[in-house]
C-alpha cells in the first residue's frame, strides 16, 4: 500500500489508505496511540459527546481522529451514516479527522476492520483515536477488541442501566458517563449506577456530562488520561479473538458462493464451516 502520502500529512492520502484497509487489506503498526471507545444504547448522546471531546482536544492543540460506526442494512448492504450530523467540529478544524464506518457484512457494534483502520491513523500521526460504536445494548462489547479505554455512556430516562455484574462486562469499562446532565433525573441515574457498582470489586469513575452545554467535559478529558492501563484482560482477549474470527468469515473470498450453496441446500452448516476453514 502506498501510505507515504498519508504519512506525509495528506488528508486525501489518509482517506484513501483507510478505504483500502476498510475493503480488506490488513495493516498493523508499531506506532503507539490511545484508542478511546465510546459505547452505549442508541440515542444516549454518543455522537454529541464525541464532538465535545474532539473539540476539547483540538482546543489543547492536539490532533484527534474519529471513527464512527453505524449499521449496514443486512438486506440492501447499504447504510445511512448519520453520526457526522452531530459532529460539526469535524469539518471545521484541521486537528480533527472524522470518518464514518459501516458494519458491512459483520454483526457486532464494531467491525473487525476498525482495529486496522486505527493502526493506519496511528501510523500517520493521529495518536488520539475515538471510536463510536453502533448504539448497542449491554450484551455487546466488541469495542474491547480495539479500544484501550472504554467509556460507557448512559442517559437519564433511558431505562434501568447497568446489569453489569451479571454480564461480566463491567471489567471492560473504564469510565461511565451519565450524559445529558442538563436534564431532570441525571443525579438519580448516576446514584443508581454508583450503588449498582458498589457491589463489585472494580472502582469505576461515574461522571456527569452535558454534551449540549459542555459541562463536565474538562473533567472527563482528565479522567481519560488518569485511568490506569490495566493491560489486556481475558475478556479483552476474548473479544479480539471473536473479532478476528468474524473477519475471517466476512472477508473470505468464497463467502458469497458458500452462502449461495447454503441457500440452495447444496451444503449444510457444518460443510460451510469446513469450506471457510480452507486457507486462502
Partner 1 sequence: MATPLRIVIAKPGLDGHDRGAKVVARALRDAGHEVIYTGLRRTPEQIVRTVIDEDAQFLGLSSLSGAHAHLFPKICKLLQESDVGHVIVFGGGIIPTADKPALFEAGIKAIFGPGTSSTQINDFISTAAAKDDAGCGAESDWHWGD
- Please report, as residue ranges, which positions from 75 to 114 form the binding site for partner 1 (by CB under 8 A): 76-82, 84-86, 88, 90-92, 97-100, 102, 104-105
Determine, following the binding rule CB under 6 A, whether residue 47 of this chain makes contact with ligand GTP: yes
Dist. CA 208–CA 247, nearest whole Å: 36
**Of 100, 210, 236, 243, which one interacts with ligand GTP (CB under 6 A)?**
210
Vertex 186: Cα angle to 185 and 192 (nearest 5): 90
- Least distance to ligand GTP, CB of residue 199, Å: 27
**Closest to Mg ion by CB, 72 or 236:** 72
Listed ranges 8-16, 81-89, 156-164, 247-255: which one lies at the site for Mg ion (CB under 5 A)? 81-89
Dist. CA 52–CA 210, nearest whole Å: 9
> Whose CA is closest to 101, among 65, 128, 137?
65
Q: x/- contact string, 177-196, with ligand GTP (CB under 6 A)?
A: --xx-xx-------------
Determine, following the binding rule CB under 6 A, whether residue 158 of this chain makes contact with ligand GTP: no
Dihedral (CA of 142, 143, 146, 147) sign: negative
42 interacts with, out of ligand GTP, partner 1, Mg ion, none, CB within 5 to 8 A per kind: ligand GTP
Q: For the chain, give the number of residues.
A: 280
> Whose CA is closest to 151, among 179, 121, 110, 118?
179
Give residue for cell 503498526. 29
- Please report, as residue ranges, which positions from 237 to 266 form the binding site for partner 1 (by CB under 8 A): 256
**Closest to ligand GTP by CB, 47 or 251:** 47
**What is residue 92's three-state secondary structure?**
coil
Vertex 151: Cα angle to 235 and 27 (nearest 5): 65
**Of 3, 6, 18, 172, which one interacts with partner 1 (CB under 8 A)?**
18
Which residues in this chain contact partner 1 in the complex, by CB under 8 A? Answer: 11-12, 15-16, 18-19, 23, 72-73, 76-82, 84-86, 88, 90-92, 97-100, 102, 104-105, 256
Amino acid at each position: 500500500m502506498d501510505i507515504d502520502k498519508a504519512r506525509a500529512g495528506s488528508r486525501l492520502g489518509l482517506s484513501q489508505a483507510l478505504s483500502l484497509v476498510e475493503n480488506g487489506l490488513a495493516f498493523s503498526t508499531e506506532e503507539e496511540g490511545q484508542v478511546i471507545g465510546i459505547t452505549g444504547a442508541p440515542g444516549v448522546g454518543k455522537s454529541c459527546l464525541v464532538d465535545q471531546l474532539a473539540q476539547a482536544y483540538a482546543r489543547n492543540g492536539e490532533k484527534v481522529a474519529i471513527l464512527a460506526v453505524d449499521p449496514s442494512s443486512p438486506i440492501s448492504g447499504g447504510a445511512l451514516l448519520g453520526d457526522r450530523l452531530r459532529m460539526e467540529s469535524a469539518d471545521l478544524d484541521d486537528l480533527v479527522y472524522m470518518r464514518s464506518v459501516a458494519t458491512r457484512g459483520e454483526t457486532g457494534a464494531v467491525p473487525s476492520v476498525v482495529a486496522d483502520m486505527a493502526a493506519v491513523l496511528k501510523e500517520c500521526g493521529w495518536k488520539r483515536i475515538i471510536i463510536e460504536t453502533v448504539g448497542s445494548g449491554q450484551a455487546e462489547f466488541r469495542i474491547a477488541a480495539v479500544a484501550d479505554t472504554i467509556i460507557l455512556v448512559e442517559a437519564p430516562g433511558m431505562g434501568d442501566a447497568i446489569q453489569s455484574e451479571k454480564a461480566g462486562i463491567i471489567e471492560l469499562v473504564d469510565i461511565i458517563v451519565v450524559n445529558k446532565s442538563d436534564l431532570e433525573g441525571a443525579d438519580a441515574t448516576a446514584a443508581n449506577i454508583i450503588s449498582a457498582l458498589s457491589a463489585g470489586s472494580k472502582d469505576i469513575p461515574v461522571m456527569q456530562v452535558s454534551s449540549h452545554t459542555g459541562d463536565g467535559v474538562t473533567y472527563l478529558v482528565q479522567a481519560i488520561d488518569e485511568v490506569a492501563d490495566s493491560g489486556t484482560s481475558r475478556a479483552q482477549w476474548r473479544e479480539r479473538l471473536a473479532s478476528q474470527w468474524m473477519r475471517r468469515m466476512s472477508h473470505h473470498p468464497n463467502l458469497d458462493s458458500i452462502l449461495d450453496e447454503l441457500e440452495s441446500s447444496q451444503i449444510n452448516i457444518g460443510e460451510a464451516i469446513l469450506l471457510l476453514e480452507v486457507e486462502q
